[in-house]
């Protein structure tokens, strides 16, 4: 049930972020500093998340050649095509290839 509690909290919070200016603070301006901070939320959080997803529950970082190759390929394809499906297919192929040939 703790999982459901986390889902509820995240759901209420997400709705609040979507509604706050539309429903409540329509005539309020966003502080410029917060606006600039928001620009860095995506790179900071996504960077942290990618690494966090490679850490086991015991705290070990799993970042070998297959992972580095796969993530590098994902970054290259996403930058070139901006298409998440291509990035996923190429990155998983590179990951499997290195895993089963080299490792």
Partner 1 sequence: MTISPSVLRGIQESIPLFIPAIPFALVFGIVVGESGIPALIGWSSSPIIFGGAAQITLLSLLGEGASVAAAATAALIVGARHLLYSVTMAPKFQDQPAWFRWLGSYVLIDQVFALAVVHRELEPDQFRQRYLSAGFTFWTLWMTFTALGLFVGPIIPSEWNLAFAAPVLFVGLLTVSIDRWQKALVAVVAMIVTVALADLPNRSGLLVASVLGIALGLVLERFRR
Q: Which residue ranges make up the site for partner 1 (CB under 8 A)?
A: 2-11, 13-15, 17-23, 25-26, 30, 33, 35-57, 59-61, 63, 67, 70-71, 74-75, 77-79, 82-85, 87-88, 91-92, 95-96, 99
The DSSP code sequence of 36-86 is HHHHTHHHHHHHHHHHHTTB-TTS-B---HHHHHHHHHHHHHHHHH--HHH
Least spacing, CB of residue 17 vs partner 1, in Å: 4
Short-list 44, 41, 81, 42, CA closest to 73? 81
C-beta closer to partner 1: residue 5 or 101: 5
Least spacing, CB of residue 87 vs partner 1, in Å: 4
What is the rounded distance in angstroms from the CA atom of residue 72 to the CA atom of residue 95?
A: 10
C-beta closer to partner 1: residue 30 or 102: 30
Tokens of 73: 């390929």
Least spacing, CB of residue 65 vs partner 1, in Å: 13
Least spacing, CB of residue 95 vs partner 1, in Å: 6
């Amino acid at each position: 049930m703790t999982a459901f509690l986390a889902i509820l909290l995240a759901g209420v919070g997400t709705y609040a972020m979507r509604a706050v200016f539309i429903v409540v603070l329509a005539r309020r301006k966003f502080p410029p500093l917060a606006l600039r901070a928001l620009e860095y939320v995506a790179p900071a959080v996504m960077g942290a998340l990618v690494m966090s997803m490679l850490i086991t529950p015991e705290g070990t970082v799993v970042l070998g050649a297959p992972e580095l190759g796969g993530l590098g390929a994902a970054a290259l394809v996403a930058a070139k095509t901006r298409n998440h499906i291509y990035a996923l297919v190429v990155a998983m192929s590179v990951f499997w290839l290195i895993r089963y040939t080299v490792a």
